[in-house]
Amino acid sequence: MEPDVRYEDAAAPEGMRLYAIGDIHGRADLLAKMLALIEGEIVRDRPADWRVVYLGDYVDRGPDSAGVIEMIARRVTSNPRHVALLGNHDKVLAEFLADAETWWRFADFEGETTARSYGVRIDFSSDAAIRQSREALLTAMPPAHIAFLTGLKLSAIFGDFFFCHAGIRPGVALDAQDPQDLIWIRREFSDYPGLHPKLIVHGHTPHHEPEIRANRVNLDTYAFASGRLTALAIEGRDKRFLEVTG
């Protein structure tokens, strides 16, 4: 079957309301507001079924990565309707926790802001300091937070929507996508004008407004710097954007 899902035609499964939340990057204050808004709607409207999909990049840059992980991990653990996906920043943090040799990428991603949210000062001045910093961060992070990071999904499909952090490799079947592309791809995906088998809902590449294209929706609105966190709500073919600021 030819890929032919356009933004305006893409629909959620019958009876299911979908929410997708863009990149959070340590802005626990904004996430708390967004979840209050979404959860308030769910209580008010009582949809027959629902999902909240988090598009990844929970950590780094903003001031409270620990708070972000705590809020999402608690919900994912208690209710499978909350679906958390892996972002490249989350992957880099997990890699640093597993192996100090990957410290350079963690440093490049402003990982010290994440460590600071756990009360740890990261020192990249020597191999010994890096190893000690990693051990301190491992000790400071609750086991549930580490389990959350290592258990994140790469993608999710509901109805006509494919959710992932960064995007997909055009022309490759959705079930054959390279994990690296799902969390890292940019230009090859964002510049592609053709349609895909599903409408792709993603983050990763920041814009000042939600980016709506015929073949994709980008929900990364620079939350850590702009103070604007964006989500997409979908019911049937109806789509609307939610925004919280702070």
**Which residues make Cβ contacts (< 8 Å) with residue 235, sequence separation at least 6?**
12, 16, 17, 18, 47
Beta carbons of 50 and 16 less than 8 angstroms apart:
yes
List, for residues 146-174, the tens digit of each pLDDT value.
Answer: 999 999 999 999 999 999 999 999 999 99
pLDDT at 128 over 70: yes
* Reported confidence tier of residue 97, pLDDT bands at 50, 70, 90: very high
pLDDT recorded at residue 1: 52
The DSSP symbol for 87 reads P
pLDDT at 246 over 70: yes
pLDDT at 54 over 60: yes
pLDDT recorded at residue 227: 97
The DSSP line for 196-239 is BSSEEEE-SS--SS-EE-SSEEE----HHHH-EEEEEEEETTEE
Give the count of beta carbons closer than 10 Å to the beta carbon of residue 123.
Answer: 14
pLDDT recorded at residue 2: 54
Q: State whether the Cα torsion 144-64-154-228 is positive or negative.
A: positive
Beta bridge partners of 164: 155
The DSSP line for 181-195 is HHHH--HHHHT--S-
Mean of the pLDDT values across residues 231-246? 98
* Reported confidence tier of residue 3, pLDDT bands at 50, 70, 90: low
pLDDT recorded at residue 113: 98
List, for residues 204-229, the tens digit of each pLDDT value.
Answer: 999 999 999 999 999 999 999 999 99
List, for residues 18-34, the tens digit of each pLDDT value.
Answer: 999 999 999 999 999 99
Average pLDDT along the chain: 97
List, for residues 163-209, the tens digit of each pLDDT value.
Answer: 999 999 999 999 999 999 999 999 999 999 999 999 999 999 999 99
pLDDT at 94 over 90: yes
pLDDT at 65 over 90: yes
Among 245, 243, 184, 246, CA closest to 22: 243
Amino acid occupying residue 201? V
Mean of the pLDDT values across residues 9-26? 98
229, exposed or middle or buried, with CB in 10 Å at 0-12, 13-18, 19+? buried
Amino acid occupying residue 196? H
